[in-house]
Structure 1
Amino acid sequence: MLMHKKYGDMFEINMAGKRLIVLCSIDLIKNMNISSTITKYPFRNIHFEGSAEYGLQGLASNNDPKSWKYKRQFYTQAMMTPSFNYHAVEWTNELWNEMESCWNNLGENYELDLIKWMHRFSNEIIFRISTGVKNDTVISYYKNIAHENNIIVLNEKEREKVEESENFIQSIDTFFKGIVYFVIFNRFMRHYIPFIRGKVKGLLKNRDYLYNKVYEIIKKRRIEIENTPLDQPLRHDMLTSHITANTKRDINPVKHADDDLLRPMTDEEIFGSIIDSMGAGTITTANFFCFIVYYLGRYPEVKQRFQKELDEVLGTKSITYSDLDKLQYCDAIIKEVNRNCPLSFSIGRVNNEKDIVGGFNWPERTSFSIFYYATMRRKDYWTDPEKFDPDRFYKIDESDKYLLEKKYAKNSFTMFGGGIRICPGRKLAMIKLKCLLASIYRKYDLELADMNAPLKSSSSVITICKELIVKFKPRKF
């Protein structure tokens, strides 16, 4: 923000030896978020050589148009189908019941580090959606805590299972935090500068552990499918959908004329998709959920309105997929938290042909950074931008209080990116967030252990919550 204030709406920085043009006005980015594939900005970032060494093979780092289109179609088919939405609600409800029991067993005076629980909760949901397998990371984490606090006693076999679960969670966290080393540092620095070399060596060892685990899952599922008769149905999950794509078992009737899109997926392509899902579905959801809880703790009047909406929409009945669309104030809270504390401060775009931006001619393969943190806090786009106010996203057409939001919010606000590179898992992310928020706050309060403490976070590729200590207490009606 300091550079924006000093240099204006467009300025240049050097990041890891690469030129980056930062844009802070919606007038400068209007051609960068076009949904059509006929766009001058099909890429998110310039391809960096470290991605190959680290083994980044998914959609996020893919700059090959044909390869990206091929992988994206299967990812979208799997993530956007109605059955996935219903499964997501069902599994979120089911897992919340497990976690609720764990928290109640620990007692209302026990201080929870929420980010640790949310990492495991988010991972268990996305792992099940991605692979069809329930990995029990939540109950394993509870058993670890309960064992350390002498609430339960684990035998050797149970301790090994808990340790393996914790190792897997830590591996995912380490892997995605480590990406920045392969973006910022060139190959020479990664392998010859003493401190960096040691860190990179550990990251590559962790990568191998994680990759072996995921490849084992893929190979095991392939064998299961091959041994299942054609007249017997298969379970519905992303991994099964990817393995059966363009085969006799394919459940998707839509076919493309392009022969390049009609072949089955390789294990490497499936792997990239699964890793992307696990990272985005674990890291982003867990951190953003903690940001929401923090803001609800700091603004009790907002929390009270949210709980009133839950009472009116849900009552005491089980949460269904159709209920989530009715939680409009919940939507507004999520968007306002994102405006104030976005997971990603900026979104990259790279042009594949010459273009004019800000009155300047830019050659192809210029790297731009859309600085949404600035556009989401501009006084000419938002009413009282420094104020936390979910009402700016809630039924604003019914009054004239938020004229700026009516005019500018669509183009100055983002949660999941935009254009053809918009996050394909956005619907699933909102389902998980809303379902879990509703499940907790309809019956309980998550009280901040220290109401005056600032949010403990740090930023690199994304903003993460380092710690959020809360107490889990029955709601006072």
Structure 2
Amino acid sequence: MNVALFIEVDAVKKKFMVTRLELGRREEGVALTDQELARTYGDIVGVYMGHRPLLLVSNPNTIKAIMVKEFSRTPNRPKTFLPRNEMKYSLLNADDDQWRFLRNTLLPTFSSGKMRMMEPLFKAKYEQLLDNLTERAKTGKPIDFKDVFGAYTLDVIASTGFGMDIDSQKNPDNDFVKYTKKFLNISFTPILILILIFPKIDTLLYWLGMSPFNRLEILSFFRRVVKRAVDQRMEDSNKLVDLLQLMLNTHHDTGVDESENIHSFEGDGNPWKTRRLTMDEIVGNSILFLLVGYDTTSNALAFTAYNLATHPDCQEKLIEEIDAILGKEPPNYDNVQKLEYLERVFCETLRLYPSACRTHRLAERDIVIEGYTVPKGTDISFPIYSIHRDPRFWENPTRFDPERFTPENKAKRHPYAYLPFGHGPCSCIGMRLAQVEMRLAIVSILQHYRFKTCEETEIPLKLSKANLLKPENGVKLLLESRS
């Protein structure tokens, strides 16, 4: 390890420990902590997560080098907790050759062609969303859009990933809804904090039934749901077109779509040959799609509604674009691609409120970063929230301004100063699915309503303290009919 870095990290270790305690008393979470660390110590900041060294890197050129040029040295993500059961077969937890196989095999599932094939499922769910909102709007009472969009994204994932047709907003007691909320409800208990500091103790706690990740009942439920759906499809010749069926088809899906290169990675000696996904891999990745697609997309939609309600001029400009290009035509995959201002609104929302405050890579070998030799085993983290609000890259960074994402303005900015879906070979595989969900939902709503603030609207929004960014107290708005 480079002595300079060792002295720098070791010298600030106590300082960071004290800083974390002070920030905790001020109830500042991961996002604001990263901002303060970057402002105070610069683009390379050494901290500790328990006993594990963690490097925060904020320089876009360096981020690009790590994510792309040095990908062979940082191909995997660090794992705070040991993955177990089917989750160890998911794309998020797989490493090296297993990850490459899963990535190459699953990527065609999210191509634009496959999204078009799933249009009937998307249409059914956004129409369901609109029907539910119409009933709520008639009361004239504020609507918590965090809950509403959470129900919508859960319905989409249940439909596309598990073959289940539910209306979670009208049926909150549905088993799928209840088990999903149980699965995602992991709070920072003393035991969880102990595991963060001493990760290996989780193995003992797991077998003693004390670990917050020993969720056998919940995983058994999702396993039964997937296996039941798979068995039904094996017997039924009229197969649905959804993520689950596409995963079942991967062993013979060439899937090359448009300009997408899905079967090779830089540095691979040979093209990857697909095989049939195992049941464990299908179950693990169905659950992964639930984990990464439910809360993140619903949060992004809620933040979008908030930004439009608090910036009525932007909302009117978007409505004018929708009226001019779609009119009353139902939104679909192709026509919403024509809405350029809508794309800017979403991009700016994800700049201000990225789904995750950080994204991570693990140094599998020693790697030189800005003159420092970073040793194998270091967690290299990119503070997305902090970078997205850095005045070096974004003028007046706290202001909501979709015009930042015109082609001219994007060309002036370093592409790696914007990281809502990551970059390089590890970029978010479900990005296109999330974008389709969001576009269809917002367009279908704005064809009939406007978002309006009210006394219950929290301005500014209080953000959660966890790495996953969400509105702590929901997003309460009114819907005003356009008719």
Answer whether TM exceeds 0.5 for this pair: yes
Percent of matched pairs sharing the same residue:
18
Q: 1:50 aligns with which of 71, 76, 82?
A: 82
SS in 1 for 2:239: coil
| Alpha-carbon offset, residue 233 of structure 1 | 5.1
- Partner residue in 2 for 1:97: 127
Q: Deviations over 1:217-239 (max 9, x none)?
A: 232233234434xxx45322222
Q: Deviations over 1:303-335 (max 9, x none)?
A: 111111111111111112211111111111111
Q: 1:218 aligns with which of 201, 226, 241?
A: 226
Q: Structure 1 residues 457 and 187, CA, compared in 2 at 3 Å: closer, same or farther?
A: same
Give the unaligned 5+ runs of structure 1.
142-161
Q: Answer yes or no: is the 8 Å Cα contact 1:348–1:367 preserved in 2.
A: yes
| Alpha-carbon offset, residue 417 of structure 1 | 0.8
| Alpha-carbon offset, residue 60 of structure 1 | 1.5
Q: Deviations over 1:175-227 (max 9, x none)?
A: 6999976962535766999xx999x848446x223211221123223323443
SS in 2 for 1:465: coil
Q: Answer yes or no: is the 8 Å Cα contact 1:99–1:139 preserved in 2.
A: no
Q: CA–CA distance in 2 between the matches of 1:204 and 1:354?
A: 31
- Partner residue in 2 for 1:366: 378
Q: 1:468 aligns with which of 451, 460, 475?
A: 475
Q: Answer yes or no: is the 8 Å Cα contact 1:448–1:471 preserved in 2.
A: yes
Q: Structure 1 residues 99 and 382, CA, compared in 2 at 3 Å: closer, same or farther?
A: closer
More moved, 177-186 vs 431-440: 177-186
Q: Answer yes or no: is the 8 Å Cα contact 2:54–2:381 preserved in 1.
A: yes
SS in 2 for 1:51: coil
Q: 1:392 aligns with which of 401, 404, 423?
A: 404
| Alpha-carbon offset, residue 170 of structure 1 | 1.6
Q: Structure 1 residues 233 and 73, CA, compared in 2 at 3 Å: closer, same or farther?
A: farther
Q: Structure 1 residues 409 and 94, CA, compared in 2 at 3 Å: closer, same or farther?
A: farther
- Partner residue in 2 for 1:132: 163
Q: CA–CA distance in 1 between the matches of 2:175 and 2:255?
A: 39
Q: CA–CA distance in 2 between the matches of 1:445 and 1:222?
A: 41
Q: Deviations over 1:392-419 (max 9, x none)?
A: 102x42xxxx4xx433241211111111
| Alpha-carbon offset, residue 77 of structure 1 | 2.1
TM-score (norm 1): 0.82
Q: Structure 1 residues 356 and 309, CA, compared in 2 at 3 Å: closer, same or farther?
A: same
SS in 1 for 2:107: helix
- Partner residue in 2 for 1:10: 44
Q: 2:459 aligns with which of 450, 453, 457?
A: 453
Matches within 5 A, 1:19-38: 19-34=53-68
SS in 1 for 2:467: coil
Q: Structure 1 residues 436 and 37, CA, compared in 2 at 3 Å: closer, same or farther?
A: farther
Q: CA–CA distance in 2 between the matches of 1:80 and 1:175?
A: 32
More moved, 93-102 vs 313-322: 93-102
How large is the RMSD of aligned CA atoms in angstroms?
A: 3.2
Q: Deviations over 1:334-387 (max 9, x none)?
A: 111111122212211223333221111223332211122232223332233232
Q: 1:68 aligns with which of 94, 99, 109?
A: 99
Q: Answer yes or no: is the 8 Å Cα contact 1:54–1:204 preserved in 2.
A: no
What residue identity is the alignment partner of 2:76? F
Q: 2:420 aligns with which of 415, 429, 433?
A: 415
Q: Answer yes or no: is the 8 Å Cα contact 1:112–1:471 preserved in 2.
A: yes
Q: Structure 1 residues 238 and 52, CA, compared in 2 at 3 Å: closer, same or farther?
A: same
1:85 aligns with 2:97: no
- Partner residue in 2 for 1:110: 141
| Alpha-carbon offset, residue 140 of structure 1 | 1.3
Q: Answer yes or no: is the 8 Å Cα contact 2:87–2:93 preserved in 1.
A: no
Q: CA–CA distance in 2 between the matches of 1:215 and 1:78?
A: 21
Matches within 5 A, 1:288-303: 288-303=300-315
Q: Answer yes or no: is the 8 Å Cα contact 1:54–1:182 preserved in 2.
A: no
Q: Structure 1 residues 37 and 252, CA, compared in 2 at 3 Å: closer, same or farther?
A: farther
Q: Answer yes or no: is the 8 Å Cα contact 1:92–1:436 preserved in 2.
A: no
Q: CA–CA distance in 2 between the matches of 1:14 and 1:42?
A: 21
Q: CA–CA distance in 2 between the matches of 1:180 and 1:113?
A: 30
Q: CA–CA distance in 1 between the matches of 2:394 and 2:243?
A: 39
Q: CA–CA distance in 2 between the matches of 1:23 and 1:337?
A: 23
SS in 1 for 2:72: coil
Q: Structure 1 residues 136 and 371, CA, compared in 2 at 3 Å: closer, same or farther?
A: same
